[in-house]
Amino acid sequence: MDSVFTTDGPTPLDRLSAVLRDGIPLTGFMQVDIDHCDTHKLRLRAPYEPNRNHKGAAFGGSLAALAVVTGWSVLELACRERGADAEVVISHLEMDFLAPVTADLISHCSRPDPDTLAHFFDALLIHGKAALDISVTIEGVRMNSVRCCGTYVALQRKRERSERA
């Protein structure tokens, strides 16, 4: 795992990796792992074999789950890096399956730019929730095989909302 984040103790990226491995049973079964992360993008990988179907391609449900968790991971990581105690959930998803995936499942997601994140965290602080559209692609042998756009919402945990009141 390549990363630009280094500090003493578990980093936000280390904690996210643990959640993907141990906290979400589906991603554990799929063997999802962080393949690369820097300030610009996040790439997750899942091996082909446990995610294939009977027709010799990646199972559509595995592709959808990987796309959803990739977008979720980008926003979850941003919240963890910022120290925001927020629950991140997906509220809307659109996917295009363009070609079969017949190798390891590799998803790519650009991390939001600093201005977008500043507006997002301002809304979270003011309203107790904020939404962000995040696009994800999954590689195929010759092209991007899956395109996905999801709307993810961060909700301040009730403890924080009641402290503000």
Q: What is the number of alpha carbons within 13 Å of residue 47 lying toward its C-beta?
A: 5
Amino acid residing at 1: M
The model's pLDDT over 34-77, given as tens digits with 9 standing for 90+, comes to 999 999 999 999 999 999 999 999 999 999 999 999 999 999 99
Among the listed ranges 11-15, 75-79, 85-89, which one has the minimum average pLDDT value?
Answer: 11-15
Helix pair angle (60-82, 114-127), 10° resolution: 80
Q: Which H or E element spans position 90?
A: strand 86-97
Parallel/antiparallel/unpaired status of strands 129-139 and 144-156 = antiparallel
Domain locations in the chain as residue ranges: 12-164
Q: Which H or E element spans position 36?
A: strand 33-37
pTM over 0.85: yes
- Neighbouring-strand partners of residue 16: none
Percent of the chain with pLDDT over 70: 91
- Kindly report the CATH class assigned to 12-164: alpha beta
Average pLDDT (105-125) is: 97
